[in-house]
Amino acid sequence: MIILTIDTDWAPREAVIEVMEKVRALDVKTTIFFSAPSPVKPWPLLEIGVHPDLSRRHVPFDGGEPMSMATMSHDLDVLKEEGLILDCFRRQIPSALAVRTHRFYWHSDLAKVMAKSGFIHDSSMIMPYHPYLMGFKVGKLKRWPVWASDHLHLVRRFPLSRLELPYLDRPGLKIFCFHVTYLYLNASTLSDFNMIEKRLDKQLVERPAISKPGIWTLFELLAERIYKTSHGYWLEDIPSDFILKNQTPQTN
């Protein structure tokens, strides 16, 4: 089951709009995790999620040394601040039921914080290129691992002009994580752009002339494959038989 997802990160508004319009034209289901309210009116095949940076917390320093254990008070302050950030996203993007944290940030208490803020699905983990990949539940939250990302695709130097990935045809979840900046620039190597500088630039970055296959090419190939059999899937479409059952039931 191939699922296409995109993180907007904090890309320039014009780049987000252009990529979203191109995605809409492909006519397949896509999940976009927004770091700000969508600049484009949603369409029927779009699933909306949120993409917060939970490292942006204003928590007082607990006074410990770098290698000391945090105090219980500090831990509670962290959970409170994370809840405030997630609540803000729920207010700003109320239709979102899915969340993916920036940099796949996670800790063992975060599932409760997310569920308390009203989220049902989380995709804040990556298990690259595993066959037979499945999701699991933590309390009320359903967690769906990412199978591949555009950045890792370039790191591994996998082909961009054809779908040649390990275990792609094996059963299991195949959630792809793309980023607006990579798609907008159709990046073909990691050296095509300075990711940090251009992602945070408030102005639309100048695109280099890249005529060879890139990340957008890969996205189109996946969309074409999906379109041949269906309109694709969202996180909320994943059947219950893709959730691991060998767990002790939790009541909260």
User: Which residue matches tokens 């591994």?
Assistant: 156
Nearest CA-CA partner of 17 in 38, 48, 31: 38
Inside any domain, residue 250: no
**Which residue type occupies 119?**
F
Residue 186 contacts residue 215 (beta carbons within 8 Å):
yes
What CATH number does the domain containing 45 carry?
A: 3.20.20.370
Predicted pLDDT of residue 194: 60
How far apart, in whole angstroms, are the C-alpha atoms of residue 252 and residue 235?
A: 22
Average pLDDT over residues 229-236: 92
pLDDT over 60 at 212, yes or no: yes
The total of structural domains in the chain comes to 1
Q: Please list the residues that pair with 167 across neighbouring strands.
A: none
Inside any domain, residue 16: yes
Inside any domain, residue 50: yes
pLDDT over 80 at 39, yes or no: yes
Inside any domain, residue 147: yes
Please give the torsion angle defined by the CA atoms of residues 27, 232, 215 and 171, in that order, rounded to the nearest 10 degrees.
-160
Average pLDDT over residues 13-33: 96
Secondary structure class of 177 (helix, strand, coil): strand
Inside any domain, residue 84: yes
Weakest-pLDDT range from 17-31, 196-210, 223-237: 196-210
**pLDDT per residue as tens digits for the range 146-199:** 999 999 999 999 999 999 999 999 999 999 999 999 999 899 988 776 655 555
**pLDDT per residue as tens digits for the range 117-131:** 999 999 999 999 999
Inside any domain, residue 248: no
How far apart, in whole angstroms, are the C-alpha atoms of residue 105 and residue 249?
A: 25
How far apart, in whole angstroms, are the C-alpha atoms of residue 185 and residue 14?
A: 12
Predicted pLDDT of residue 192: 73
Tokens of 65: 């040394």
Residue 23 contacts residue 6 (beta carbons within 8 Å):
yes
Predicted pLDDT of residue 209: 57
Q: Show the domain range for 91.
A: 2-242
Tokens of 189: 């190597």
Average pLDDT over residues 36-46: 96
Inside any domain, residue 80: yes
Predicted pLDDT of residue 122: 98
**pLDDT per residue as tens digits for the range 132-143:** 999 999 999 999
**pLDDT per residue as tens digits for the range 60-76:** 887 788 888 888 888 89
Share of the chain above pLDDT 90, in %: 74
What's the whole-number average pLDDT of the chain?
A: 90
**Which burial class, exposed, middle or buried, applies to 212 when counting CB atoms under 10 A from its CB (0-12, 13-18, 19+)?**
exposed
Inside any domain, residue 20: yes
**Which burial class, exposed, middle or buried, applies to 185 when counting CB atoms under 10 A from its CB (0-12, 13-18, 19+)?**
buried
Predicted pLDDT of residue 71: 85
